[in-house]
A and B are shown apart, each in its own frame.
Chain A
Amino acid sequence: MGAHENPQPQDAVAAPSGPGRRRFLGYVVAASTLTVAAELGEAVLAPTPAAALVPSVPGPAEIYDLNDMLTHAALPTANLITIRLDPDGTAHFALPRAEVGQGITTSSAMLVAEELDLPLDQVRVTLADARPELLFNQLTGGSNTTISTFTPIRVAAAVARGRLLHAAALELGEALGTLTAKAGVITSAVTGRSLSYGELAEKAASVTTGQVSVVLKDTSEFKVVGTAQRRIDALAAVTGRKQYAMDLKVPGALPAMVCRPPTINGTVRSVDNLDEVRAMPGITDVVRISTGVAVRGRTFGQCIDAVRALQVTWGPGTAEGESDDTIREELRRAELPLPALDLLTKSVDARFTFHFAGNSALEPNCAVADVREDSAEIWASLKSPITAQEQIALSLGLPTTAVKVHVTEGGGSFGRKLFHDGAAEAAEISRATGKPVRLMWHRTDDFRHGRAHPMSTSRVRASYALGQVLTYAQHHTSVATDFGHGVGEIITAEAAQLPVGDLTFSETIFTLTQQTPYNFGVVTQLLSETDKGFHTGSMRNIYSPNVRCAQELVVDELARRMGKDAYQFRRTFLKDDRARAVLDKVAEGGAWGRDMPAGTAQGIALHPEYHGYVAVLAEIDCRPETTGRKVPDAYTGPRVTKVVCAVDVGLAVNPRGLQAQMMGGIMDGIAIALSSGLHLDNGHFLEGSWDNYFYTRQWNTPPELQIVVMPPTTGKPGGAGELAVAGAMAAVACAYGRATGTMPTTFPINHDGPLGFEPLPTVPPIPASPTDGLSRAH
């Protein structure tokens, strides 16, 4: 397996082959019950060499991608993750990452169970508080969690297992070699006597901290890793017992909301009726803060009423007067020229526009904050909690150590929780009121003032001759993406060693994430950015869904012009056999090329990222009887009727979880291709509810969905969280182009059509809740 061919971490004992290649150093930590640790951070996969056709020099992202950078950035930080074994036989691990639905608490528990030989249901995984000593290594992003923790978690678990075996040998007075560990019990092959891990937990504890060498299991010995497991938090989720930030019962933390400006980043000039609003039922506080006017009260319902009652005079924002059209012009002016071609060279030229999109999770921005004179405590779902801790400490004028940041379970992220907008605001309100608060953004605010994926254009020029693609140039131009959540720090530290030269942060991220999986001769992909007036952030991928969707559409067009089948064309030009394998899988499973009625079509696309490959085959129905189907207060439009997806992440720790990630990514891809965008109009976004922002709903869901997890190829996990979005968006766009006979160039494709909703007012900034709920009970 590939695991044996990969470089090992620096602390591994070198050996030519066999178990030595799997030997690592972990730690036993001084504690009253068995506590073990391992360093977080590991080496990366070697690149697979490319060959064939008019070979393209591998792009930087193929050799060294964002994920590698995240992994490497962690190497020099000698930080420890620990596993504790309790006398009740349970193992406890505080994961320094955010669980926002990706299933990483489950996959991490599986790694512990595997190497510790403990049943999965006896492994408890919680989310670690912000740990400043981890430096870069508490960022959940770039689909990096499993890649960066795969070895360290197993090392710690293996140390624990070794200690338990030693303790059992002493306790039973038998030779170590006669003992076997299985399902949390150590048994002697000679006498048949056994001891449970729980009985050994205290006896195996150490009074000193010291290094221990361990050998990890070979992938062929895996009994848990690679098997389909259900989520460890599923029962809590389906019973309503799973606790998110707004469900926590922090003493005195009453609901708080903010009255926000009518335009993005508008400012408070004056408030006319502060005292009147302070006297409203249930309201305890009304205070001006940097982002608006905050209210605190007994219930969120009363806070909504208070926000609506506030009479505020607002100053202009940072996108005043801007609309989709003005930003599109701004982007065009910022576009870098494409390389000129001589007149005889045939080329495909295209320009794509990707509108703003909202990365709102279903759980809106929210946080609990209790700020005291000389300390603060924050509870929120945070993917970059150290950055949150440092910046909140700075704004409160407190030392970092005086700010305790608890990472709570998150109700989705999609890029949103890389930032701590809710936590920062909650801290400011708690400071201003002198009381604990439970801050939540109204849904309408979450769309209009929350982070958005920036609007961008992609210009592509691909030249071809004699059955070969000679050049491929793609210039992506985007409203600036905010990376202020901590990746910047990593780049600062690492940039000098990267093969990307002297680029800005965003250009570096772009170069480290974007790759062309095809042999298209001379390939250039560039990013330029403009306009910093918006709250932006990544959205379940940074650039890939848009950049790769444009590329896959151009691939379809190249195939058409060169008289080739879209699948066979891709197959021929793909660089990597793993890519070809997933593509073949969906072509076969989805019956590529089957006869379909006019107005319906298949699309096929491939996407490589973070050491993984996904292929998606989508079927779409664009016939009038389908696009015109009626659902009240909804956008229906073209229906994706079937999706077949094949994914190769190298090694799927939990294939069932991986399928779930693909399913979610496919729903996102369908949405950003067909229906979900934000309309910028005169300085604000028009969308203010889930019936305005058309994320995929049941009536858009493909009735047929098949997700194939490929057998292990590399023996090491690749990234999974974001992989399917780009593949699905591209396949749906290609299917749409084939069904309608026109390559789509504006996304989502419904953006320039009639607005599908009546925009909510901007003053007051949030709507009242309906009162007719009983008459609508069904």
Chain B
Amino acid sequence: MPEHTFILNGEPVTVDIEDDVRLLWVLRDVLGVTGPKYGCGLGVCKACTSHINGKAFNPCSVPVGDLAPTDEVTTIEGLPATVGKDLHPMQEAWLEYDVAQCGYCQPGQIMAAVAKVRQVREEGRDITEADLDEIRNVCRCGTYHRIREAIVAGAKSQEAVTGTKTSCGRDPGR
């Protein structure tokens, strides 16, 4: 069986599995990392949103064979470590605004929010209503409004923690 090595939440991991198995199942079923959730397996609902080399992506849509040993995958479990804290500022904002209801989509929402904020910072601007409208993550409990509030608040503290300039293509703080 093919062997695949990549960096998961800061540590190198190696798994034996067929090339075409999507990363979501490698994380959840093989490695037992269950923060990224299944909501569709179609790259649509974004519940599994995690980061690859600092960018948001959906592990449900990536064959594990596509990963290189140097690729850094960050799931919600590894997010706090990217800023060297117990909680990432975006998670703090989520707590402050009491965003979660059932909570199932929230790891993906937070990972999407962190990447979105990083993206607009790199473009040298503040987050806008239009940016928030573009977020595709489904929340069937309908927490959308608090998500918007938390992202705006979290963006401010994320900036304070990570600085306005973030290194492109790598999780900051590494």
CB contacts (< 8 Å) of A663 on chain B: these are 142-146
A114 at interface (Cβ–Cβ under 8 A)?
no
A690 to chain B, nearest CB (A): 5
Question: What's the Cα separation between A238 and B18 when bound, in Å?
Answer: 31
A776 at interface (Cβ–Cβ under 8 A)?
yes
On whether the beta carbons of A701 and B94 are closer than 8 Å, the reply is no
B132 at interface (Cβ–Cβ under 8 A)?
yes
CB contacts (< 8 Å) of A770 on chain B: these are 42-43, 60-61
CB contacts (< 8 Å) of B38 on chain A: these are 246, 300, 364, 440
CB contacts (< 8 Å) of B58 on chain A: these are 773, 776
With beta carbons under 8 angstroms apart, the residue of A233, A240, A305 that contacts B107 is A240
When each residue 81-107 of chain B gets 1 if its CB lies under 8 Å from chain A and 0 otherwise, what string results?
000000100010011001111111111
In chain B, residues 89-141, which have Cβ atoms closer than 8 Å to a Cβ of chain A? 91, 94-95, 98-107, 110, 115, 119, 129, 132-141
CB contacts (< 8 Å) of A231 on chain B: these are 98, 100
With beta carbons under 8 angstroms apart, the residue of A300, A443, A656 that contacts B45 is A443
Question: What's the Cα separation between A666 and B145 when bound, in Å?
Answer: 11
On whether the beta carbons of B95 and A230 are closer than 8 Å, the reply is yes
| Known A-B contacts A299-B30, A300-B25, A773-B58; A443 and B39 likewise in contact (beta carbons under 8 Å) | yes
With beta carbons under 8 angstroms apart, the residue of A666, A668, A698, A703 that contacts B135 is A698
Question: What's the Cα separation between A701 and B58 when bound, in Å?
Answer: 23
A74 to chain B, nearest CB (A): 25
A411 at interface (Cβ–Cβ under 8 A)?
yes
B8 at interface (Cβ–Cβ under 8 A)?
no
Question: What's the Cα separation between A281 and B62 when bound, in Å?
Answer: 18
In chain B, residues 52-76, which have Cβ atoms closer than 8 Å to a Cβ of chain A? 52-53, 55-63, 66, 75-76
CB contacts (< 8 Å) of B18 on chain A: these are 281-282, 302
On whether the beta carbons of B140 and A695 are closer than 8 Å, the reply is yes
Question: What's the Cα separation between A408 and B96 when bound, in Å?
Answer: 26
On whether the beta carbons of A773 and B34 are closer than 8 Å, the reply is no
Question: What's the Cα separation between A634 and B58 when bound, in Å?
Answer: 18
B76 to chain A, nearest CB (A): 4
A728 to chain B, nearest CB (A): 10
On whether the beta carbons of A249 and B32 are closer than 8 Å, the reply is yes
| Known A-B contacts A299-B17, A443-B42, A698-B132; A238 and B110 likewise in contact (beta carbons under 8 Å) | yes
In chain A, residues 48-75, which have Cβ atoms closer than 8 Å to a Cβ of chain B? none
| Known A-B contacts A362-B138, A770-B43; A412 and B102 likewise in contact (beta carbons under 8 Å) | yes
With beta carbons under 8 angstroms apart, the residue of A242, A443, A695, A701 that contacts B103 is A242
With beta carbons under 8 angstroms apart, the residue of A691, A771, A777 that contacts B44 is A691
B4 at interface (Cβ–Cβ under 8 A)?
no
CB contacts (< 8 Å) of B40 on chain A: these are 443, 689-690
On whether the beta carbons of A690 and B106 are closer than 8 Å, the reply is no
A767 at interface (Cβ–Cβ under 8 A)?
yes
How many A residues are at the interface, by size bracket?
35 or more
On whether the beta carbons of A774 and B66 are closer than 8 Å, the reply is yes
A255 at interface (Cβ–Cβ under 8 A)?
yes
When each residue 441-475 of chain A gets 1 if its CB lies under 8 Å from chain B and 0 otherwise, what string results?
01100000000000000000000000000000000
On whether the beta carbons of B56 and A777 are closer than 8 Å, the reply is yes
| Known A-B contacts A301-B21, A666-B142, A771-B61; A776 and B101 likewise in contact (beta carbons under 8 Å) | no
B47 at interface (Cβ–Cβ under 8 A)?
yes
B61 to chain A, nearest CB (A): 3
On whether the beta carbons of A690 and B44 are closer than 8 Å, the reply is yes
A496 to chain B, nearest CB (A): 38
On whether the beta carbons of A777 and B132 are closer than 8 Å, the reply is no
How many B residues are at the interface, by size bracket?
35 or more
B45 to chain A, nearest CB (A): 5
With beta carbons under 8 angstroms apart, the residue of B42, B60, B142 that contacts A664 is B142
With beta carbons under 8 angstroms apart, the residue of B77, B91, B136 that contacts A697 is B136
| Known A-B contacts A411-B103, A660-B143; A778 and B119 likewise in contact (beta carbons under 8 Å) | yes
B41 at interface (Cβ–Cβ under 8 A)?
yes
A247 at interface (Cβ–Cβ under 8 A)?
yes
B155 at interface (Cβ–Cβ under 8 A)?
no
CB contacts (< 8 Å) of A769 on chain B: these are 22, 41-43, 60-61
In chain A, residues 265-283, which have Cβ atoms closer than 8 Å to a Cβ of chain B? 281-282
A331 at interface (Cβ–Cβ under 8 A)?
no
On whether the beta carbons of A234 and B25 are closer than 8 Å, the reply is no
A705 at interface (Cβ–Cβ under 8 A)?
yes
On whether the beta carbons of A103 and B101 are closer than 8 Å, the reply is yes
On whether the beta carbons of A247 and B34 are closer than 8 Å, the reply is yes
With beta carbons under 8 angstroms apart, the residue of B25, B37, B57, B115 that contacts A774 is B57
On whether the beta carbons of A101 and B102 are closer than 8 Å, the reply is yes
On whether the beta carbons of A362 and B32 are closer than 8 Å, the reply is no
On whether the beta carbons of A777 and B57 are closer than 8 Å, the reply is yes
On whether the beta carbons of A689 and B42 are closer than 8 Å, the reply is yes
| Known A-B contacts A362-B105, A689-B44, A777-B55; A238 and B100 likewise in contact (beta carbons under 8 Å) | yes
Given contacts A667-B144, A778-B56, 13 further A-B contacts (CB under 8 A): A237-B100, A240-B107, A246-B28, A255-B25, A362-B45, A362-B139, A363-B39, A443-B41, A660-B146, A695-B138, A701-B145, A770-B60, A771-B66
**What are 28 contact pairs spanning A and B, CB under 8 A?**
A102-B101, A231-B98, A234-B94, A234-B99, A234-B103, A238-B95, A238-B103, A239-B77, A249-B32, A282-B18, A300-B29, A301-B20, A362-B39, A362-B104, A362-B105, A363-B37, A411-B103, A411-B105, A412-B104, A412-B140, A663-B144, A668-B142, A689-B40, A690-B39, A698-B134, A701-B133, A770-B61, A771-B61
Closest 10 pairs between A and B when the two form their complex, measured CB to CB = A240-B35, A667-B142, A101-B102, A237-B103, A411-B104, A773-B61, A773-B62, A101-B101, A240-B76, A299-B25
